[in-house]
Structure 1
Amino acid sequence: MGMCLPCLGGAADDVVVTPDPDTRRRQLAEAAEKRQKETTYRGVKNPEAVERKKKKREEIENQAMTTSVSGGGGGGLKWQVG
């Protein structure tokens, strides 16, 4: 019975210390963001250019929405009384 105890003494050295839950959560979030970024830009040679085009398209759409809502376009219906 005493012969098994010496071999169990070395098992404490093999234990991996896990980080606290906050650190672990942060690491998992960073890894998830990295994976998402990699899958988003898979096959794209220049991801910065894609982002610029996307932002420019959104700006154009926003301008179109604001001009159509404010009525500044002048292409709407006209009222005629008479």
Structure 2
Amino acid sequence: MGMCFPCPAESAPPSPSLEEKRTKLAEAAERRQKEAASRGILDVQSVEEKRKKKEKMEKQIATSGPPPAGGLRSTFQRM
């Protein structure tokens, strides 16, 4: 009476394969990441567009090469 173990006559329920477990865990992790990334943001699309625009600008700056001569200079004095 009150035992927590299954009866010896009953067989254990079939467990999903390792591959099924991995895919479900991966899906759950991806879903959690998306929820965490959009937490507190009302318009997710707007934020994504701004992020892409910022990346595009950074890429353009990186590929444009060094700034032309006559730009800002930093002068350090050695002791």
TM-score > 0.5 by shorter chain: yes
Aligned equivalents of 1:50, 1:22: Cα separation in 2:
35
Report what 2:17 is aligned to. 20
> Aligned-pair RMSD on alpha carbons?
1.9
Aligned equivalents of 1:66, 1:76: Cα separation in 2:
17
Provide the TM-score with structure 1 as the length reference.
Answer: 0.67
Aligned equivalents of 1:39, 1:46: Cα separation in 2:
14
Aligned equivalents of 2:18, 2:59: Cα separation in 1:
42
Identical aligned residues as a percent: 36
Instruction: Give the CA deviation at 1:49.
Output: 1.0
Provide the TM-score with structure 2 as the length reference.
Answer: 0.69
| Larger gyration radius, structure 1 or structure 2 | 1
Q: Which runs of 5+ in 2 are unaligned?
A: 1-5, 71-79
Instruction: Give the CA deviation at 1:20.
Output: 0.4
Q: Which runs of 5+ in 1 are unaligned?
A: 1-6, 78-82
Q: How many residues align?
A: 64
Pick from 55, 59, 65 the counterpart of residue 62 of structure 1: 59
More helix as a share of residues: 1
- Over 3 Å counting, the alpha-carbon distance change for 1:49 and 1:16 in structure 2 is farther
